[in-house]
Chain A
């Protein structure tokens, strides 16, 4: 029994290494394809966005969280459930702005940058920019199904436009990685999915 548990954690570690290594290979390839770091950043963000819009469905299916009533709840869910589920880390939430629409996620260690060092000629590369895209895409596509009565099922899509960016990065010499998320606006669509 204990041997099985040992193999379980080892394979889990390997899986995150697989992801880390694959991500590294991807960034290396992109750096070769595109001449400058800005283009690579944009491409990573776009790819992250595409991943995010699909990931959110997977996340909602697996985690079964209820609807978030405000941005703070959203932040909690992102940090404590989503990050834990997919990357195995739990960032802390700090630096709430007075209006409650901006906050920072502090990651003590970023699994994407295991084994990575940034060379000097790529100082403006945001290595983990994929994460920003994923967060952005996921929040733009959050949709929850609510059944209100026996005859009617409404699907409420709660779409949020957010701005996500890296403020500190361990690859660039900071002590932690900090992601700043800012709520821009909310688009709410009520789509009655039933026949009448």
Chain B
């Protein structure tokens, strides 16, 4: 519980720090998001390795997605994904109605334009986790009203 506060603060500071540095440099916003995402990717890879050391083999893609939604999300964000939808053709939508990294920010539409920065790391996290489980993926995030996000 206390560790979570630390991680939240570190994450927010990372986002802020990277953008601060970019402003002083060339001011390339897109690169910051990429950097954050690639950091998340590395962390995701490592985490999933440690985490699935002792778990049984996954039967199929859906099983992996369910693992991500339940166990992985619980470990990282202390709650499960609220809603998982799929079109059974490779697209999965994970919906979290109270995304931990956004709860402290606002409870509605304020600051919506800043939300994507805070999601980049998590997208990378998921992509890294999936990649180490053998799935190549593209992960994007969408926020319509904080603190819920897809």
B6 and A86 contact, CB distance less than 8 A = yes
Across chains A and B, which 10 residue pairs bring their CB atoms closest together, nearest first?
A25-B39, A21-B43, A15-B3, A14-B75, A85-B2, A21-B46, A51-B9, A25-B42, A47-B13, A47-B17
B93 CB within 8 Å of chain A = no
Question: How far does the Cβ of A130 sit from chain B's closest Cβ, in whole Å?
Answer: 8
Instruction: Report B66-89 CB contacts with A as 1/0, cut-off 8 Å.
Output: 000000001110000000000000
Range, interface on chain A: 20 to 34
Instruction: Report A34-72 CB contacts with B as 1/0, cut-off 8 Å.
Output: 000000000100110011001100100010000000000
Residue among A22, A85, A88 making CB contact with B10, cutoff 8 Å: A22
A54 — which chain B residues lie within 8 A by C-beta?
9
A15 and B11 contact, CB distance less than 8 A = no
Question: How far does the Cβ of A175 sit from chain B's closest Cβ, in whole Å?
Answer: 26
With A21-B47, A22-B7, A25-B42 as contacts: A51 and B35 at CB distance below 8 Å: no
B61 CB within 8 Å of chain A = no
Task: List 8 A–B pairs whose Cβ atoms lie within 8 Å, in order of A's numbering.
Answer: A12-B3, A16-B3, A18-B75, A19-B7, A25-B40, A47-B17, A50-B13, A62-B2
Instruction: State the CA gap A130–B11 with chains docked (Å).
Output: 13
A23 — which chain B residues lie within 8 A by C-beta?
10
A18 and B7 contact, CB distance less than 8 A = yes
Question: How far does the Cβ of A176 sit from chain B's closest Cβ, in whole Å?
Answer: 22
B10 — which chain A residues lie within 8 A by C-beta?
19, 22-23, 26, 51, 130
Instruction: Report A1-43 CB contacts with B as 1/0, cut-off 8 Å.
Output: 0000000000110111111011111101100010000000001
A55 — which chain B residues lie within 8 A by C-beta?
5-6, 9
B107 CB within 8 Å of chain A = no
Among B3, B18, B42, the one with the most A-chain Cβ atoms within 10 Å of its Cβ is B3
A14 and B47 contact, CB distance less than 8 A = yes
With A25-B42, A51-B10, A55-B6 as contacts: A18 and B47 at CB distance below 8 Å: yes
Q: Which residue of B lies closest to A22 (CB)?
A: B43
Among A25, A26, A29, the one with the most B-chain Cβ atoms within 10 Å of its Cβ is A25
Question: How far does the Cβ of B138 sit from chain A's closest Cβ, in whole Å?
Answer: 20
A33 — which chain B residues lie within 8 A by C-beta?
21
A21 and B75 contact, CB distance less than 8 A = no
Residue among B11, B16, B39, B74 making CB contact with A11, cutoff 8 Å: B74
Instruction: State the CA gap A50–B16 with chains docked (Å).
Output: 10
